[in-house]
Amino acid sequence: MSGSPQIYRASTTAPVNIAVIKYWGKRDTTLNLPTNSSLSVTLSQNSLRAHTTASASESYSGDDTLILNGEQEDIKSSKRTQACLKHLRSLRADLESKNASLPNLSQLTLRLVSENNFPTAAGLASSAAGFAALVRAIADLYELPQSPEELSLIARQGSGSACRSLMGGFVAWRAGTKEDGSDSKAEEVAPASHWPDLRALILVVSAEKKGVPSTAGMQTTVETSTLAPARFRDIVPKRLQEIEKAIHDKDFETFGRITMQDSNSFHAICLDSWPPIHYMNDVSRAAMSAVETANRKAGKIIAAYTFDAGPNAVIYHLEEHTHLVAGVIKSILPWIPGWEGEFGEKIQPNEF
Ligand code: 2P0
């Protein structure tokens, strides 16, 4: 046996999730408690994802570190990352206090290494996959018994939307009503296998970093948008019920209509904020028109666009309509950077 201290290690991946009912607004900025519940589809592990390795060892010294896409991040001053690490450590310390034979990992320095296989902060939910993978990797390293739902409470404190990336398929983030956030967590509405022919086509309109970061944008909207209160109070709760039923019934037309309406409602409250927030650009709007053209040609809703805090489009459709949808989009938007190019298979329809 060599005398060098053991390195404990765990690796995991977490996929991106794309919301069909959007989270946009916090009622508590420290705990990351949302103004409304949201619902997303988790993409497959084979498409856009974060891969994270967490390790701990007595041979490590100093502060915990995170290397993201090859660059050292300043996690010491990131309250959100610190909140996640503190919570995970305290769960591990609980385990250690109950079982003296466990190594005291909770007291060791952590080294985290994370890679995204897609552009970071380009409105492709990188923080969602990133924090979900970070929490899962440390939970695995610490051999925590907590369920994905319980871990979602921790990931939520890193980035709100991250709580939804700890589960596959169709995932709701219930806003909850408690002040301490203990009921603000993710819940699987249906597994991916429930609707296996649903596809998400991702158009990488731009891989640039987004102009207004989500956290700041949300606060501007909550403080200034005159339309937002109606969205939070009336519009989203009703839509959420409708889309959950559409998912259970595999009713694509209703699923698609609500997805597009909710994306538009989110971008409407952004535009209604002051100063106004613009995430979509002319190419995004051309993608919307292309989807409308595909639907007109089909005589029904066969494709549904949705846009997050950036110009990139995600287009949901059923596998049987892949050629029709891809054909219309290609004919209308042949110049989209990344289409069949830079991002390879990532812009092909992804299984999830
Ligand atoms: C969503 N977005 O539901 C919405 C739609 C962007 C538009 O969740 O401040 O990065 O870290 O909690 O989770 C992006 O916001 O914000 C987001 P924080 P997050 O996916």
- Residues 41 and 189 reside in one and the same domain: yes
- Same-domain check for residues 190 and 234: no
Q: State the pLDDT at residue 202.
A: 84
pLDDT score for 125: 65
In a shared domain, residues 104 and 117: yes
240 band by pLDDT with thresholds 50, 70 and 90 = very high
Residues 230 and 243 in one domain: yes
pLDDT score at 351: 36
Burial status of residue 53 (CB atoms within 10 A of its CB: 0-12, 13-18, 19 or more): middle
Of ligand 1's atoms, which has the minimum distance to the CA of residue 158?
Answer: 11
pLDDT (0 to 100) of residue 176: 98
Phi, psi of 276 (to 5 degrees): -60, 150
Q: What angle, rounded to 10 degrees, do the helices at 252-271 and 214-224 form?
A: 80
Whether residues 187 and 220 share a domain: the answer is: no
Q: Whose CA is nearest to atom 20 of ligand 1?
A: 19
How far is Cα 205 from Cα 144, in angstroms, rounded to an integer? 40
Position 147 in a domain: yes
Residue 313 lies in a domain: yes
Domain identity same for 217 and 298: yes
Cβ of 34 closer than 6 Å to ligand 1, yes or no, is no
Q: How far is CA 26 from CA 20, 186, 311, in A?
A: 18, 16, 22
pLDDT band at 68 (very low <50, low <70, confident <90, very high): very high
- H or E element that contains 218: helix 214-224
Q: Are 138 and 54 in contact (CB under 8 A)?
A: yes
Q: What is the pLDDT of residue 204?
A: 80
One domain for residues 19 and 145: yes
**Residues 227, 104 share a domain:** no
Task: Decide if 1 is inside a domain.
Answer: no
Residue that terminates a domain, selected from 130, 160, 194: 194
User: Is the minimum distance from the CB of 305 to ligand 1 under 6 angstroms?
Assistant: no
pLDDT at res. 322: 87
The type of residue at 14 is: A
CATH number at residue 41: 3.30.230.10
Give the SS3 label for residue 209: coil
58 alpha carbon – ligand 1 mean position (Å): 36
Which residue, 194, 211, 229, sits at the end of a domain? Answer: 194
Which of 338, 318, 204, 313 has the alpha carbon at shortest distance from 263? 313
Q: How far apart are CA 20 and CA 38, in angstroms?
A: 8
The pLDDT of residue 338: 43
pLDDT tens per residue across span 122-153: 556 678 999 999 999 999 999 999 999 999 99
User: Within this chain, do residues 123 and 238 fall inside the same structural domain, yes or no?
Assistant: no
Is 324 within the bounds of a domain?
yes
- Residue 23 CA, ligand 1 centroid: distance in Å: 6
The CB of 23 under 6 Å from ligand 1? The reply is yes
CB 120 near ligand 1, within 6 Å: no
Cβ 170 under 6 angstroms from ligand 1: no
Query: Over 80: is that where the pLDDT of 70 sits?
Result: yes
Does residue 352 lie in a domain region?
no
**2 located within any domain:** no
Mark whether 173 and 271 lie in a shared domain: no
Same domain assignment for residues 218 and 326: yes
Residues 91 and 168 in one domain: yes
Mutate to test the pocket of ligand 1, among 17, 153, 159, 209 (most ligand atoms within 8 A of CB): 159
- Tokens 């100063």 sit at which residue? 275
165 touches ligand 1 (CB under 6 Å): no
Amino acid at 13: T
Cα–Cα distance measured from residue 288 to residue 150, given in angstroms and rounded to the nearest whole number: 37
Indicate whether 50 belongs to any domain. Answer: yes
Helix (H, G, I), strand (E, B), or coil: what is residue 246? helix
Confirm or reject: Cβ of 279 under 6 Å from ligand 1. Answer: no
Instruction: Indicate if ligand 1 lies below 6 Å from the C-beta of 127.
Output: yes
Residue 236 inside a domain? The answer is yes
* Residue nearest atom 14 in ligand 1 by C-alpha distance: 214
The domain that contains 226 carries what CATH number? 3.30.70.890
Task: Please report the beta strands in 69-130, taking only residues with DSSP state E, as ranges in sequence order.
Answer: 71-73, 110-116
Phi and psi at residue 237, in whole multiples of 5°?
-55, -40
pLDDT of the residue at 210: 63
Supply the range of the domain harboring residue 32.
Answer: 7-194
Q: Is the CB of 260 under 6 A from ligand 1?
A: no
**Helix or strand or coil: residue 283?**
helix
Of the residues 175, 194, 213, the one at which a domain ends = 194
E-assigned strands of the chain?
Answer: 7-15, 17-21, 26-28, 33-34, 38-42, 49-57, 65-68, 71-73, 110-116, 170-174, 185-190, 198-203, 303-307, 313-318
Question: What pLDDT, in 10s, does the model give residues 186-205?
Answer: 999 999 999 999 998 888 88
The domain total for the chain is: 2
Determine if the peptide bond prior to 275 is cis (ω within 30°). Answer: yes
Winning range, highest mean pLDDT, from 21-35, 40-54, 334-348: 21-35
Report whether residue 38 contacts ligand 1, using a CB cutoff of 6 Å: yes
